[in-house]
Chains A and B, each alone.
Chain A
């Protein structure tokens, strides 16, 4: 199939790989974490202080045991998700400290906001997994907020969720809570029930929190995204090719650690590297370089037979306006089309990750629905073509009253919940509403109609008691 988006040939991908191997072997990567350094040392890696140097054979060995796909189990088995190869998931925004209101005002996010986003994910037709830290609640103590987020994730939504990589201890607490929900740690040891986000610190470092979390999560069979977020021209080279080599080195370093901890631990090759805006010095995630890198990320992950992560509904705009729509749709579409498997930040993000917006959440969610539909393969069978029907309707006939149209009119074509398809008069009569205004109405309706999913009362009691005990201890 002809595709204008740049396809990397095997030779080009090998060149990127070789450059990464050169960087890993000669410059190395800092791991600010004692156990990580011990693990590398025990496996015969060359270490200088906190710098770990990698030989190509060690990386290749790790890549051999990485699963190319895996399932993440949800509290509701109907909502289990598959990640890898042709299967992909949309996952909401992550890490925003603020909420931008429908009036365009920025305010600090609260725990109530976090719960509301859990509710929206639960009732979403298009978002396949719950996130983590969708907003950072300012009204909760920083030291224990991860417990509250885990609890809301489990109680308010029955989809698979992301885990807490705040620190080694935070990761362990997340694991213990998941163990309560699934009836024992042994029940989740070989069964991922969470995916956690492990970020490198570009260039070429891993913090103690991230490396410690990665070790605990991999050890307990929980999935991790190992991701790099390079700002081209600031925390990485200004050229996209240079970024590809640098992020590849960082990701492979993390992947190698995960497989040293536990062979076969499910990990995802991740990047949302983009450009720095050269006029302001700000990170730009609405830049076309983001989408170009998304495509490279998907291709390099396939080069290593790994699932990939990128995203999402990303924008620099501070309001759910046309800029937000353009930038988010381009990035989401590129990610889905190029084969990204885990699309983090699929919905809600505004202002280069600074804020979540309820209205933007709904807009992006709709984009996810459109995209999922676009990539639905058609059968191209005699039945789906149905030349007999076309001949029988004949010249100048119509298909509106044909039984086949009646039968398929709800399932064959995508029905939008949000986009306006009204004529001018109907639109005028409905108040000439912009899409963000339509979304604002729908947010309240969705939250009002939300019903909490069932959970075993014993499990709920144990989870709540666990959180209370940790907070008091």
Chain B
């Protein structure tokens, strides 16, 4: 148990090498991959998320922890069942057609990955059909759309409309985010949720699938 606690604490410092070492050592000591993932790593990222929200941790530190988490998950992956590896579910995420911004979206992607989701990060300038295909291919639980420009926000509405027409709307929850987006816009275009920052996005994703 103390090994897991050490993993959690080390994850908070963002020291990826040390987290990987401790993860391997925990496996060697006979702990299960699932235990290490849930009680060591994800427990740590829950703390990271809370500290990010309270302003105690800065974004580069959060990302360093997230990367450390990613490294450790690579070690655990071969030993996890598909179900355990996907943890909370599968998320398809991307910036909508016409918009080339990706820093915020990548931040969301990393936060969701480290919260235990399988994330398919499609990149930027993604048209509605490509999103639909990705939802089908990955059997996604959540679609997360990003837009930074007021001129590309309408593409969010259009993407959602296309998904409705494809008959997939009931199968996925849709999250939207980006600087000009707000809750009332999310409601207006029929999204299931809106998050103002990466920390709350992963929290919201968890809540939607609970």
Using CB atoms and an 8 Å cutoff, list the residues of chain A in contact with chain B. Answer: 398, 400-403, 405-406, 409-410, 423-426
Q: Besides A400-B59, A400-B63, A409-B60, 5 other CB < 8 A contacts?
A: A400-B103, A401-B64, A401-B67, A406-B60, A425-B183
Q: How far is the CA of A380 from the CA of B60 in the complex (A)?
A: 23
A363 to chain B, nearest CB (A): 19
Residue among B60, B67, B102, B196 with the highest chain A CB neighbour number at 10 A: B60
List 30 A-B residue pairs with CB atoms under 8 Å apart, sorted by A's residue number. Answer: A398-B102, A398-B103, A398-B106, A400-B59, A400-B60, A400-B63, A400-B103, A400-B107, A401-B60, A401-B64, A401-B67, A402-B60, A403-B64, A405-B60, A406-B61, A406-B63, A406-B64, A409-B58, A409-B59, A409-B60, A409-B61, A410-B58, A423-B179, A423-B196, A423-B197, A424-B182, A425-B182, A425-B183, A425-B196, A426-B197
Contacts of B106 in A (CB 8 A): 398
For chain B, give the interface size range.
10 to 19
Q: Is B14 an interface residue (CB 8 A)?
A: yes
CB under 8 Å from chain A, chain B span 171-208: 179, 182-183, 196-197
Q: Which residue of A lies closest to B65 (CB)?
A: A406
Chain B 59-88, CB-CB to A under 8 Å as 1, else 0, gives 111011001000000000000000000000
Which residues does chain B contribute within 8 Å of A403, judged by CB atoms? Answer: 64
Name the prevailing secondary structure of the B interface residues: helix
CB distance from A441 to the nearest CB of B (A): 15
With the chains together, A93 CA to B63 CA distance in Å? 43
Contacts of A423 in B (CB 8 A): 179, 196-197
- For the complex of A and B, the 6 pairs showing the least CB-CB separation, nearest first, are A409-B60, A406-B60, A405-B60, A401-B63, A425-B196, A409-B58
Instruction: List the B residue with the shortest CB-CB distance to A410.
Output: B58
Instruction: List chain B residues, Cβ under 8 A from A401.
Output: 60, 63-64, 67
Q: Is there an interface contact between B182 and A406, defined as CB atoms closer than 8 Å?
A: no
Q: A406–B14 contact, CB under 8 A?
A: yes
Q: Which residues of chain B come closer than 8 Å to A424, judged between CB atoms?
A: 182
Determine the distance from Cα of A421 to Cα of B103 in the docked complex, in whole angstroms.
18
Judging by beta carbons under 8 Å apart, are B196 and A426 in contact?
Answer: yes
Q: Which residue of B lies closest to A401 (CB)?
A: B63
The complex places the Cα of A410 from the Cα of B103 at a distance, in Å, of 20
Q: How far is the CA of A424 from the CA of B60 in the complex (A)?
A: 23
Q: How far is the CB of A182 from chain B (nearest CB, A)?
A: 40
| Bound-complex Cα distance A403 to B196 (A) | 26
For the complex formed, measure the closest distance between the CB of A419 and the CB atoms of chain B, giving whole angstroms: 13
Which residue of chain B lies nearest to A404 when distances are taken between CB atoms in the complex? B60
* Distance between A423 CB and nearest chain B CB, rounded to angstroms: 5
Which chain A positions have C-beta within 8 A of B179? 423
A305 CB to closest chain B CB (Å) equals 44
Bound-state Cα–Cα, A398 to B106, Å = 10
Complex alpha-carbon distance, A424 and B14, angstroms? 30
Contact partners of B196 in chain A: CB under 8 A? 423, 425-426
Query: What residues on A are CB-neighbors of B58 within 8 Å?
Result: 409-410
Chain A residues, Cβ within 8 Å of B64 = 401, 403, 406
**Chain A residues with CB below 8 A from B183, complex form:** 425
**Residues of chain B within 8 A of A425, CB atoms compared:** 182-183, 196
B-chain residues with CB within 8 Å of residue A406 when the two chains form the complex: 14, 60-61, 63-64
CA–CA, A400 to B60, complex, Å?
A: 6
Complex CA distance for A86 and B197, rounded to whole angstroms: 42
Q: Report how far A180 CA is from B118 CA in the complex, Å.
A: 69
Residues of B95-114 at the interface with A, using a CB-CB cut-off of 8 Å, are 102-103, 106-107
Chain A residues contacting B61 (CB-CB under 8 Å) are 406, 409
Closest to B183 in A: A425
Question: Considering only CB atoms, which chain A residue lies closest to B184 in the complex?
Answer: A425
Q: Which residues of A contact B63 (CB under 8 A)?
A: 400-401, 406
From A425, which residue of chain B is reached at the shortest CB distance?
B196
B75 to chain A, nearest CB (A): 20
Q: Which of B14, B63, B179 has the most CB of A within 10 A?
A: B63
Q: Least Cβ distance of B189 to chain A in Å?
A: 16
**Which A residues touch B59, using CB under 8 A?**
400, 409
A410 to B60, CA, bound (A): 10
Contacts of A410 in B (CB 8 A): 58
